[in-house]
């Protein structure tokens, strides 16, 4: 498929679909709705400006779901791939910590949409802590100790810019040599930067997603199956191929 894995450069891009089998709802589609509200409308600066309490309630609930969830076989397969590949980077759009809890070192991953367990000021550079935030509905939203504005989740919302240092890490990986395999798992791939990174230099582009996406037409191979089933199989095949078995 790609030859010797130990000398291959592998880029993995994941989205909400990889955590679906851990019980974390994806964003789009009926499953993602929360109290009849569309998450793609809640994850916006406008929603926070209009009703910060509601937005925080949704994030508090997502934090709880994530804490209670466990990494699934797809997260574990990503770790195996990272250990076996010559050079490896994971770019995840997920703000959960399931890749990290599966054992993937932080230096091998970029959380391009931030980290749900971080909290920051909605106006200045102030950083907060998880326990500052309302986990129950009655509690007030924490305010920034520096400027007094409301604290918000440390994630990237629709219409916001990505962190330049995160973009730099992806660009540095792409600039360091051609990518032998780009593996895109569980994302609708609606953002231009995701399609761009996936297609830019990949020798081989494999997509794992039960549904077709805008990326499908660029894929060398599309595996229409759940990540928890398809990814361990694929990684196993790549490892066997790499060892000449
Ligand atoms: P979406 O919720 O848009 O898409 C989830 C994708 O996973 C869909 O394409 C599903 O077909 C697929 N899927 C579902 N179950 C799966 C499974 N078991 N195995 C593999 N694939 C499965 O999530 P993302 O594409 O990650 O951004 O969405 C991207 C971004 O939109 C999120 O990071 C977030 C969201 O709004 C921001 O908050 C900026």
Counting ligand 1 atoms within 8 A of each CB, the residue from 24, 25, 27 with the most, and so the one to mutate, is 27
Q: How far apart are CA 170 and CA 197, in angstroms?
A: 8
By DSSP bridging, strand 179-185 and strand 151-155 are: unpaired
Ligand 1 contact, 23 CB (< 6 A): no
Q: List pLDDT tens digits, range 125-157.
A: 777 655 445 554 446 888 888 889 999 999 999
**Spacing of C-alpha 13 from chain mean position:** 8
The 10s digit of each residue's pLDDT in 190-235 is 999 999 999 996 689 999 999 999 999 999 999 999 999 999 999 9
Q: How many CA atoms lie within 13 A of 62 on its CB side?
A: 30
Q: What span, in angstroms and rounded, lies between the C-alpha atoms of 174 and 168? A: 10
> Is the Cβ–Cβ distance between 14 and 185 less than 8 Å?
yes
Token representation of residue 9:
């450069």
Give the whole-angstrom CA distance, residue 4 versus residue 18: 26
CA nearest to 163, candidates 206, 110, 214, 123: 110
Give distance in angstroms: CA of 94 to centre of ligand 1: 9
Q: Is 181 in the pocket of ligand 1 (CB under 6 A)?
A: no
Whether 131 is catalytic: no
Q: What is the pLDDT of residues 155-194, one digit of tens each?
A: 999 999 999 999 999 999 999 999 999 999 999 999 999 9
Distances (CA, A) of 172 to 60, 94, 102, 103, 215: 34, 21, 25, 23, 22
Q: Which atom of ligand 1 is nearest to the CA of 14?
A: 26
Q: How far apart are alpha carbons 82 and 192 in whole angstroms?
A: 25
Which residue out of 7, 99, 113, 129 is catalytically annotated? 113
């Amino acid at each position: 498929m790609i030859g010797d894995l130990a000398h291959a450069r592998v880029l993995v891009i994941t989205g909400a679909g990889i955590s679906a089998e851990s019980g974390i709802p994806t964003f789009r589609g009926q499953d993602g709705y929360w109290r009849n509200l569309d998450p793609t409308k809640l994850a916006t600066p406008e929603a926070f400006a209009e009703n910060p309490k509601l937005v925080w309630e949704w994030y508090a609930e997502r934090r709880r779901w994530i804490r209670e969830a466990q990494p699934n076989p797809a997260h574990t397969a990503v770790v195996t791939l990272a250990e076996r590949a010559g050079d490896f980077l994971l770019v995840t759009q997920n703000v959960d910590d399931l890749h990290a809890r599966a054992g993937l070192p932080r230096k091998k991953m970029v959380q391009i949409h931030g980290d749900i367990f971080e909290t920051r000021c909605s106006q200045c550079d102030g950083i907060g802590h998880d326990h500052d935030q309302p986990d129950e509905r009655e509690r007030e939203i924490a305010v920034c100790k520096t400027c007094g504005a409301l604290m918000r989740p440390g994630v990237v919302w629709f219409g916001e810019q990505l962190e330049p240092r995160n973009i730099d890490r992806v660009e540095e990986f792409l600039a360091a040599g051609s990518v032998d395999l780009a593996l895109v798992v569980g994302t609708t791939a609606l953002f231009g930067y995701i399609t761009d990174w996936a297609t830019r230099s990949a020798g081989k582009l494999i997509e794992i997603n039960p549904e077709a996406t805008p990326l499908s037409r660029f894929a060398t191979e599309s595996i229409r199956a759940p990540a928890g089933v398809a990814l361990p199989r694929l990684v196993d095949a790549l490892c066997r191929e790499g060892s000449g078995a």
